[in-house]
Structure 1
Amino acid sequence: MNAFPPGNHDALWLPFTANRQFRASPRMLVSAHGMYYKDDKGNSVLDGCAGLWCVNAGHTRPRIVEAVQKTVATLDFAPAFQMGHPLAFEAADRVARLAPGNLNHVFFCNSGSEAGDSALKIALAYQRLRGEGTRTRLIGRERGYHGVGFGGISVGGISGNRKLYGSLLTGVDHLPHTLDLRRNAFSRGQPEHGAELADELERIVTLHDASNIAAVIVEPMSGSTGVLPAPKGYLKRLREICTKHGIVLIFDEVITGFGRLGASFAAEKYGVVPDIMTVAKGITNGTVPMGANIVSDKIFEAFMQGPPEAIDLPHGYTYTAHPIACAAAIATLDIYAEEHLFERAGALSSYFENAAHALRGYPHVVDIRNEGLVAGIELEPRPGTSTTRAYEIFDRAFRQGVLLRYTGDTVAISPPLIVEKNEIDRIFETIGRLLKEID
C-alpha cells in the first residue's frame, strides 16, 4: 500500500472520489515532468489524460514555471474590481485572438464551473438589456457537464451530479443526448447520424415559446459523460435555430479548447461560432486555476449602452484575472504557438484514432468514440452493476504505470499534446491487455 503523509488522513475530503475506497488503497502522485508523473514509490506513470483534460503542453514546462515565479515575486495579487494590471489585458487579447468569428471579449474567472455559471448569467442579463426580460429559461442537454455550480448542474444532464441536490434552478429544460449506439457505434470522429436531434430545440421552443428562452448551452464534444462527439451537422443546426429565435448559443469548450481536437477550439474545427464560449483547463496548462468566457461583439456591446460611470456587469470574483494565472496563460499560449501543438494534435489524430479502434473486438468493448486526441472506450457493465469494469481498468493501469480516466462505464484517454506515438501505443496496449485480464 502507498504511504500517506503524517497526520489525520480524514482531514482531506477528495472530490468525485470514493473516499473510503481510496483510503484503503491510495494512489499518490508526488511530482511530474513532461508526459510523466511519479508516484510516492518513485514509479513513473505515463499521463494518458493530461491530468484532468488540462495539461495540454505537458507537465512543469520551464517557461510557465518561470513566468509564475517571476510574477508571484513582482505582483502577487491585484484586485480586478475597478482596477487592472497589464498581464490581464495581454492575456485577454491573446485568448481573443485565438477565438473564431466575432468572439472578441474575454471575462476571466477561475474554473470551468465558474465559467459555466458566468455564461448563464451573462446570457440572462443580455436578454434583459435588449428588452427581452421574459427570456429566463435555460436549455441544457442530457449527459451534459458544465461544472458543479448550481447553474452548471441545473443545465447539466448527468444524473449522478444532480440527484443529491434537490430541484436546482427552475425554468430549465434539456435537449436529448446524442449517443446512438444502434446507428453510430464505433464511429471514427463525428458520427454520421444524429443531426436531426438538434431539431428537438424547435419542439422546446414550441412548448415554451422563444420569448421565454434565454440560452442553450452544449459541449461540442461531451467529455465527462464518456466522450460523445457531436454528430455531423448537429452544431450547425443548433446555430441556425438559435439565430432564428434570438436564443444565445453557448459552447462549453472547457475540454475541447486549446488544441484538444486539433484546432484552437471546436468552434473553429467545426466552423460554427457560438455567442459565448466557456474555457478553462488548457488555458494555463493546468498550472494555475483559471477560466474565462469569450463573448461576441453583439453581447459585449449590449452591456456598454448605459451611463459610462455605471457598473455594466455586476458579477465577478476576487481572483478574476489573477496576475499569476494571467502569467501562466500567456506563457502557455506562447508554448502552444511556438511548438505548433494544436497542429501537432491534428497531425497525430489519425494515428491516435487507429490505436483506439484497434481495441474493437476486445472483451467487454461495446463502443469506441474519438475526436482529435481524445477517445472513449465504452464497456459493457457487469450484470447488476455499473462503472466497476472501467474503474478496475483505471486502477490496474495506474499501478502498471499509466494514468487513465474513467467515467461511468467508459475509459477516457486524452494525453498531453506532446505525446509521442510510442506512448500512444503503450496507453492502448495497456488497456487492451487489461481488457483481456478482467472478467
Structure 2
Amino acid sequence: MTVIGNSAASRDKAFCFHPYTNLKAHETTGPTIIERGQGVRVFDDSGKEYIEGLASLWCVSLGFDEERLIDAAVRQMRKLPTYHVFSHKSHEAAIDLSEALIKMAPVPMSKVFFANSGSEANDTAIKLIWYYNNALGRPEKKKIISRQKAYHGVTVAAASLTGLPNNHRDFDLPIARILHADCPHHYRFAEEGESEEDFATRLADNLEKLILAEGPETIAAMFAEPIMGAGGVIVPPATYFDKIQAVLKKYDILLVADEVICGFHRTGNAWGSQTFGLKPDILTCAKALSSGYLPISAVMVSEAVYQACVTESEKIGIFGHGYTYSAHPVSAAVALETLKIYEERDTLGHVRAVAPRLQAGLRGLLSHPLVGEARGVGLIGAVELVADKDTRAAFDPKAGVGAKVSALCQEHGLIIRAMGDTIAVCPPLIIAEDEIDTLFTRLRTALDAALPLVKG
C-alpha cells in the first residue's frame, strides 16, 4: 500500500488494524486521533475537546492525567521493570495487590490469579472450572452457561460466552459446551403486563429447564455480569439474581461474577456483586483495576476451587497455566496505587454523591421522541432509541440510528458508544455534577440533531 501524506491519520489507514470497526469504511474515513487527556476530557490533534462519556472503554475511572499512577509506574520501572510469577517466583507488587484484592472481595475468596485483560481472566476462569471438576472426578460436568447479549470478551472461549451475534459470526463460534440462557432485559423481553419479579421467576424457571434438559451432571458453571455492559447496559430485574442463584445452588453449579465493568465502585458499591446480591465462587475483574492505565486483570477464586486446583496440580506435578505478563510488576504497582487512591479519596462516596445526577440525566431523556427506555445504576447507564415509543418498535438495524447519534455526539464534543441503538454512558468516576450536566446537554443536542434524520 502506498502511503499518501505523512499525517497520523494517513499512517493509521496504511498500517493499523482496528478492532470493532468497519474495516472497509475505515479505509475511507480514517481515525479520530486522540492526542491528550485531562480529567474527564480528551483532545484530538486539532485541539477539539470531548467529554469521554465511556471512560475510554468503561475503564478510565480516575481520569486521563492522574500523576500518582504515572509516578507509580515510573518508580516500579526503576526498581523492577519486568518479571514473572512462574515456578515459585514472586515480587512485592504482586503480593501486595493480591492481598488488597482479597481484603476487598465481596465474599470470602482464597487466592488471586493475574492476567492481562478481561478476556484472559474469563478464559482462565473457564479453564479453572474444567480443572476443578476433573479434580473432583466429574469429567462430564463441563458445560458452561452464559446469557444472550452477555459480553465476556473476545478470545476463543470468552467470545463463545459472549452472547452477541457479531462476536460469533464467521469466527466459527461458539465452541462446544457453551450454552446461552435468556437475556434479563425486562423492557425488551417481558411479556405484556409481566412485572419485573414475575419476569425474573420465568427466567429462573427457564434456566432450570435448560439445566434439566442438558443434564445437571453436565453443567459446571454460569457466568454473569451484574450489569450487562456491552450488551446494552442491561440492569437485572428485581429478584433476578436471588432466583438464579437458588437454581445454581440446587444443582451444584458454580457462579462466576464478571466484574470487568462493574467492579471498583461503578455501581455505587465496591462491586456489582454487592449491588445485586451475587455470591460468586469465582470473580473476574479488570479495567478500573488500574484505571485502564496499564493492562491487568485478576481472577479471584474461593477456597474450594483453589484446593481442588492444588489437588490436581499435585497429581499432575504442575499447574500448567499462566501468562508471561501475569502480575507484571509495573501493571501491579499501578493497580495497587489505583486501589489506594480509591480509598484515600473516598471514590465510593463521590460516586454515591454524584450518581443521582447522572441517573436523573438519563431519566430526563425519556421525554425525547427517540428514547424508549433509560436505565442504569450508579455511574453507568444507557438510553435505548426506538422508532415508536408506544409500541417499543425498534429501528431497522440497517438504518444505523445508534451509529448516527454516536457520530453526532462526537461532533458536539461527547464520546459515547452505540451498541446497536443503545447509547451507553459510563464516564470516569471522578466526574463532577457540572460535567454530568454538560454531558447530557451534548447528548440531548445530538439526539435533537438526529431526530429529523431518522424520523423524516
The answer as to whether partners of 1:68 and 1:328 remain within 8 angstroms in 2 is: yes
The answer as to whether partners of 1:68 and 1:324 remain within 8 angstroms in 2 is: yes
Aligned to 1:75: 80
Query: In the TM superposition, what is the alpha-carbon distance from 1:168 to its structure 2 partner?
Result: 3.1
Deviations 1:110-158 (A, max 9, x none): 0000011111111111111112121011111101111001111212210
Query: In the TM superposition, what is the alpha-carbon distance from 1:338 to its structure 2 partner?
Result: 0.8
Q: Distance in 1 between matches of 2:223 and 2:312?
A: 27
5 Å matches for 1:281-430? 281-305=287-311, 311=317, 313-380=319-386, 384-386=396-398, 388-430=400-442
TM-score, structure 1 length as denominator? Answer: 0.94
Query: In the TM superposition, what is the alpha-carbon distance from 1:8 to its structure 2 partner?
Result: 6.3
Aligned to 1:215: 221
Query: In the TM superposition, what is the alpha-carbon distance from 1:173 to its structure 2 partner?
Result: 1.4
5 Å matches for 1:37-116? 37-82=42-87, 83-116=89-122
Aligned to 1:274: 280
Query: In the TM superposition, what is the alpha-carbon distance from 1:282 to its structure 2 partner?
Result: 0.5
Query: Which region of structure 1 is more displaced relative to structure 2, 424-433 or 137-146?
Result: 424-433
Select 1:144's aligned residue among 143, 150, 161.
150
Aligned to 1:10: 14
The answer as to whether partners of 1:57 and 1:341 remain within 8 angstroms in 2 is: no
Q: Distance in 2 between matches of 1:240 and 1:111?
A: 30
Change (3 A) 1:154 1:308: closer
Q: Distance in 1 between matches of 2:429 and 2:342?
A: 9
| Larger RCO of the pair (alpha carbons < 8 Å, separation 6+) | 1
The answer as to whether partners of 1:239 and 1:274 remain within 8 angstroms in 2 is: no
Give 3-state SS (helix, strand or coil) of 2:257's partner: strand
Query: Which region of structure 1 is more displaced relative to structure 2, 345-354 or 53-62?
Result: 345-354
Q: Distance in 2 between matches of 1:222 and 1:252?
A: 9
Q: Distance in 2 between matches of 1:411 and 1:270?
A: 23
Give 3-state SS (helix, strand or coil) of 2:180's partner: strand
Aligned to 2:446: 434
Q: Distance in 1 between matches of 2:221 and 2:101?
A: 23
Give 3-state SS (helix, strand or coil) of 1:125's partner: helix
Select 1:258's aligned residue among 252, 260, 264.
264
Give 3-state SS (helix, strand or coil) of 1:26's partner: coil
Give RMSD over aligned pairs. 2.2
Q: Identity percentage over the alignment?
A: 29
The answer as to whether partners of 1:96 and 1:103 remain within 8 angstroms in 2 is: yes
Give 3-state SS (helix, strand or coil) of 2:220's partner: strand
Q: Distance in 2 between matches of 1:311 and 1:10?
A: 48
Q: Distance in 2 between matches of 1:434 and 1:308?
A: 59
| Count of paired positions | 434
Q: Distance in 1 between matches of 2:173 and 2:22?
A: 25
Unmatched segments (≥5 aa) in structure 1:
none
